[in-house]
Amino acid sequence: MLDIAEARSHVLSRCPALAPRAVSYRDAVGLVLAELVVAVESVPPFVNSAVDGYAVVAASVAGASADGPVQLPVVGEVAAGGYTDRVLQPGEAIRIMTGAPMPAGADAVVMVEDTELLGDRSTDGGSLVSIRRAVRAGDAVRGAGDDVRAGTLLFPAGTVVRPAVLGVLASVNAREVRVVPRVRVAVLSTGDELIDDGSPLQPGQIRESNRTMLHAALAEAGCEVVDLGIVRDDEAALAGVLQSAAATCDAIVTSGGVSMGDYDVVKAVLSQLADMRWMQIAIKPAKPFAFGLLPVPGGAGGVAAGRQVPVFGLPGNPVSSLVSFELLARPALRQMMGHTDIQRPTVAAVADDGLPRRPDGKTHYVRVFAAFGDDGRVHVRSVGAQGSHQLAATSLANAIAVVADGDGIAAGGPVPTMLLSVG
């Protein structure tokens, strides 16, 4: 049997990142920057107020306090998005809103909480403001370029465009960025026994679930998913679907038909069309796994000759299908989208009840529920049934404990655990 590290290395070495393309920054969320981004504008673009209050000359309120307030005439007002050309003189104040440009002559802002407006709020010199707190030059003032200066490196290539990154791109007017695009992945189910139309089950029929599950897993990984539905056990039909998918997609995911057993349509067709490697990996569940490259004829789907599309053949048992996706397909697809951190985060967790097992030459991937304990460490407990067909129990898992060959983990012992979700 093949070691999981060797299997993963084989797959990753054949799944390079897709060619970059330019997109609107609004379409870049979740994608990876393919080149660095340099700021062409400063943020903020002008000196402005950090609070609502009154712009002043700091020296004018040097002795202000709650017991001895200083009163200044209010000679103007400037709102965010507005501007005043009045030059503030010592002994004057201008009402100012957060983000509004600082008036010329002013060097500080007194927060509105430390003031009291006396009389009406006219701006013709008739109003006074009572200031109960002294300020220093620069207080509550944001300098131009205080966040970003034009010409500075904002993000290197390889940066994932998360919401805050998107906000920065918008703030410096980076309207277009080069990114590694989402992988367009075709997912399909095969088998005459499968139905997904909600009709009553007939003898020998089962409801399709793997494709539904994998569709969600692919979307969660950031892929663009193309659902090809259920393909019946017909070699010509399956070959046509796979070749069409290869011409229009970047990868293909199937489940079932990869075991070392009797004749199967998936194995027969993929063996003819693609350069496949049929693996038996030393893990439980998900021992059988297939991976290969399906060549696309030149001109098919408008693509150039020589392109090869990765095909991930996952096992048919639903739990095995999910585990092999997490261990092998997901990292490869993330790599194709330019990510460098392609594995799920792994922590040294505490096995509260222990995770016993028997030696069998395999690494066991035990589905567990993980949570932070009062000690600040991650603690895990088995979700129960661990059969490769028992998806209901696995659906409660938010992590997978990696239990090496041997007698398992004693209660309270450490176990490396792959987190499927954090929170």
Domain boundary residue, one of 87, 116, 142:
142
- CATH number, residue 165: 3.90.105.10
Same domain? For 192 and 243 the reply is yes
- 227-345-222 Cα angle (round to 5): 25
28 lies in the same domain as 88: no
- Is 341 a member of any domain? no
Number of alpha helices (DSSP H) and beta strands (DSSP E) in the chain: 8, 29
Is pLDDT above 90 for 250?
yes
Residues 202 and 298 in one domain: yes
Q: What is the pLDDT of residues 385-397, one digit of tens each?
A: 999 999 999 999 9
Is 135 inside any structural domain? yes
For residue 167, the model assigns a pLDDT of 97
Counting the structural domains of the chain, the total is 4
Last residue of a domain, one of 87, 122, 142: 142
Is 167 part of any domain? yes
**Mean per-residue pLDDT over the chain, rounded:** 94
**What does the pLDDT look like over 370-415, one tens digit per residue?**
999 999 999 999 999 999 999 999 999 999 999 999 999 999 999 9
Per-residue pLDDT at 271 exceeds 80? yes
What pTM was estimated for this model as a whole?
A: 0.89
- Structure tokens, 46: 């002008």
Residues 332 and 185 in one domain: yes
Q: Are residues 203 and 273 in the same domain?
A: yes
With a cut of 80, say whether residue 311 has pLDDT above it: yes
The 10s digit of each residue's pLDDT in 29-63 is 999 999 999 999 999 999 999 999 999 999 999 99
CA dist 1 and 113 (Å) reads 72
CATH code, domain with 121:
2.170.190.11
- Shared-domain flag, residues 136 and 65: yes
Q: Are residues 95 and 130 in the same domain?
A: yes
The answer on 115 and 96 residing in a single domain is yes
Q: Are both 153 and 185 inside the same structural domain?
A: no
CB proximity list for 182: less than 8 A, separation 6 or greater: 30, 31, 222, 223, 224, 337
Q: Are 55 and 156 members of one domain? A: no
Does some domain include residue 219?
yes
Q: Say yes or no: 151 and 247 in one domain.
A: no
Query: Do residues 151 and 187 share a domain?
Result: no
The predicted structure's pLDDT at residue 259 = 80
- Asked whether residue 266 is domain-assigned, the answer is yes
Query: Tokens at residue 397, please?
Result: 């898992």
Query: Could you tell me the residue range of the domain that residue 165 belongs to?
Result: 21-44+146-180
289: nearest Cα among 247, 263, 250, 317: 317
Contact by Cβ (8 Å): 405, 361: yes
| pLDDT band with cut points at 50, 70 and 90 for residue 122 | very low
